Amino acid sequence: MRKLIVYQVDAFTTEKLKGNPAGVVINADGLGEREMQMIARELNNSETAFIFSSNDTSYDGIIRYFTPTKEVPICGHATIGAMYALAQEKNLDSCVLRMKTEVGILPFEVIKEKDDYHIVMTQGQFSLSKSLSKEVVNDIYKAIGISVDEADLNCPVQIASTGHSKVMIGIKSRSKLNNLKPDLGELSRLSSKINCNGYFVFTFDSDTPDVLVYGRMFAPAIGINEDPVTGNANGPLGGYLVKNGIVHTKGDSYSFKARQGETINRLGSMEVNVGLKNGEPDVIRIKGNAVVAFKTEI
């Protein structure tokens, strides 16, 4: 009987049971979509990554990502977790792995330091919508549970993406952020209206000098009521901040630290780097730690 090697990895942390848990199936060759969906449902993380071997010299492997209810094109924390698990399983040295995803072939850097690893994920192409209509914004504010006075009006409500889109919603207060109780049913309804499943609420209200933003991310339409620490929200946030001139940039890149998961006791953080080209956001990378929570077999 075939055995699948399965890791559960907590991404964006070095402390077990913090950060964002991701399932990782190291040897997924031969699995079909139904089997992958059943495994993702059983592990019940916000995402599970499935690693397939490559039959093409242009990339080193294939990754597919499933929530408990559906396949998604890309996932930040599950990529960090997958590359960390692969590095542990194969005892890799520092290297760059080119992995095929639904948003293209992306380079993921494995950095070995003292028998542990940091992972740098290059994300997909950045895109940013126009500001959403006043009517839609008001509906989002109501569903999230904030008033116009509580919103950060320097931050337009827009959909940003590096492969898996999120609505960017800036608010003034970290206390308000931590006490949000969104209407998940209404957010799901709005998702079909705006064609975006994720809502990333963030604030600059930080009492830690090296942390620029705190955030929370809700995606009930795809079975994720709240995601603890979201690479595919904080990465696009970097592009959004640069594109809108909300942060001051100079040189050929802008970097910051983001923190998430405080409310649900799964605190984690990541470094976001936005490469600039003629002053515009170009290549976006996120860097994070990880730790293996457990390893098992199916």
Residue 129 has a CB neighbour count (10 Å cut-off) of 17
Q: Could you tell me the two tokens for 69? A: 């209810």
What is the distance between the alpha carbons of residues 263 and 261, in angstroms, rounded to a whole number? Answer: 6
Residue in 47, 71, 150, 297 annotated catalytic? 47
Upper half-sphere CA count for residue 78 (Cβ side, 13 Å): 30
Dihedral sign for Cα 73, 75, 80, 86, please.
negative
Question: Using N-to-C axis directions, what is the helix angle for 76-90 and 231-243, rounded to 10°?
Answer: 130
Q: Is 47 a catalytic residue?
A: yes
What is the distance between the alpha carbons of residues 7 and 185, in angstroms, rounded to a whole number? Answer: 32
- Which residues touch 231 (CB under 8 Å, ≥6 apart)? 11, 12, 75, 76, 77, 79, 80, 121, 123, 270, 286, 288
- Which residues touch 241 (CB under 8 Å, ≥6 apart)? 247, 254, 274
Tell me which residues are annotated as active site: 47
